[in-house]
Structure 1
Amino acid sequence: VVGDRFVFDSEVLFNPGSADLAPEGQVQIARVVDTLKKVVNQIPPGINWILRVDGHTDNIPLSGLGQFADNWTLSQARALSVVKFMQYSLGFPPERLAAAGFGEYQPVASGDTPSARAQNRRIELKLTER
């Protein structure tokens, strides 16, 4: 947990260049969803909330020869993969989910180092009002 959101390193959830949730990633997301289900039961009925799943990449351009043309596409596909897993495998209500991909354009770490790039490759889950 970082501030008001759950943050996962992409390496924990996905294999490099892939948007398919790895088995360990499924375990990590399932743990958070268990917690979230308890939290959302405490939200008053009048509050119209969603869980935003945001995908982020580092600033290394993709070759364009693989499955994903660029970091925009990869970040969106990863966010959508998490959303679909939450809906279809964990029973999270789809009307409460939103997926967004930000590519490399919302970094949390500055610099062009392996450490900064690793911090920027992430998935964030955040409860917010619609």
Structure 2
Amino acid sequence: MRKTSYSVITLFLFIGLFASCVVMSPKKYNAIIAQKDSLSLGWENARMKITSLEEIISGLKSDSTLLQAKITDLEDKIKGMNDSFTSLRSNSSSEISKLEANLKKLEADLQKREARLREVEDILRKRDEATNALKNKLQKALLGFQQSGLTVDIRNGKVYVSLTDKLLFSSGSIVIDEKGKLALRELAKVLKTQPEINISVEGHTDNQRVVNLGQIKDNWDLSVLRATSVVRFLTETEKIENGRITATGKGEYQPIEEGSSSEVRSRNRRIEIVLSPKLDELYNLIK
């Protein structure tokens, strides 16, 4: 009896449980399955996006670290530049003062140089005026000898009185003849009035070899001895101061013109008396 009771109770419980269950249709079941699959796919996509974003965030953090290092480096450089600028600005005043002092010194030196240049130009102008005046005096004093081969001209600021050998010497001789002495006396009269003039007597010959002239070995000897004869006449006879006159021999090596004709050789055989002003004042200025 008790066993029958248990069977009845179990039956009733089964009937109740079956009655309480709701039967699900296939359509609804498929919809639930589809929704589950969609949620699974969305979750997977979301997980992949999260992974990608995490990678991006990691890269950005790395870039941020690099940028921060660069910013720190630039800030250090800017600080160094500011320090240099501050130092330069503090030193600029003293440097400008030095430059201004140097500029003033240069301007003063320039003014001195310009003043000296004006003095030199004034001395040279006076020299040129004196040279031209001396040339005119000599041309007037020696006018009567110009047809005999005497010339007066200016070269390089000096007066050249050129006398052909036939005006002073016989052929091959070193003794001044009377006509030559007359010309030298007239020249000496002018030179005595010009004590500031230095005198150089130069002997020149042609290119023909010297033969049968005793102790005269060559044209060097002949040119020097003729120049010396003129110097002795001017100093010993005409009393020109020894200290302002010199004698030199040029031989055949400074001809007036090249050639071997008798006319050319005659012009090359000459005594040149070179007159130049004393330039002590000028030399003192340019030391």
**Distance of aligned partners of 1:34 and 1:65 in 2 relative to their CA distance in 1, 3 Å threshold:** closer
Aligned partner of 2:153 in structure 1 is 2
Amino acid at match of 1:73: D
* Runs of 4+ off more than 3 Å: none
* Structure with greater helix percent: 2
> Structure 1: 5+ residue runs without aligned partners?
44-48
Once the two structures are TM-superposed, the CA of residue 2 in structure 1 deviates from its matched residue by: 2.7
- Normalised by the length of structure 2, the TM-score is 0.41
**Residue of structure 2 equivalent to 1:27:** 182
Aligned to 1:89: 237
The whole-number CA distance in structure 2 between the counterparts of 1:65 and 1:23 is 21
SS at match of 1:102: strand
One of 59, 75, 92 as aligned partner of 2:223: 75
Is the aligned partner of 1:63 residue 2:211?
yes
Query: 3-state DSSP class of the match of 1:92?
Result: coil
1:33 Cα offset (Å): 1.1
- Kindly indicate whether the alpha-carbon contact (under 8 Å) linking 1:64 and 1:70 is maintained by their aligned counterparts in 2: no
Larger Rg: 2
Higher relative contact order (CA 8 A, sep 6+): 1
How many angstroms apart in 2 are the aligned matches of 1:65 and 1:91?
A: 30
What amino acid is aligned across from residue 177 of structure 2 in structure 1?
A
Give the CA deviation at 1:64.
5.4
Structure 2: how far apart are the matches of 1:29 and 1:85?
8
CA RMSD of aligned residues (A): 1.5
Q: Answer whether contact 2:172 2:213 (CA < 8 A) is retained.
A: no
Q: Which one-letter code corresponds to 2:167 in the other structure?
A: V
Counterpart amino acid of residue 11 in structure 1 = K
Paired residues, what number? 123
TM-score for both structures, normalised by structure 1: 0.88
Unmatched runs of 5 consecutive residues or more in structure 2: 1-151, 280-287
Structure 1: distance between partners of 2:175 and 2:164: 14
The letter of the residue matching 2:186 is R
Q: Does 1:50 align with 2:189?
A: no
Deviation digits for residues 83-117 of structure 1, max 9, x if unmatched?
00001100100111100001100000111111110
Question: In the alignment, which residue of structure 1 is the partner of 2:136?
Answer: none
Identical amino acids, percent of aligned pairs: 36
Alignment-mate amino acid for residue 109 of structure 1: E
Structure 1 residue 36 displacement after superposition: 1.8
Q: Structure 2: how far apart are the matches of 1:56 and 1:65?
A: 17
Q: Give the equivalent residue in structure 1 for 2:267.
A: 119
Query: How much does 1:79 deviate?
Result: 0.2
CA spacing shift, 1:118–1:65, aligned 2, 3 Å: closer
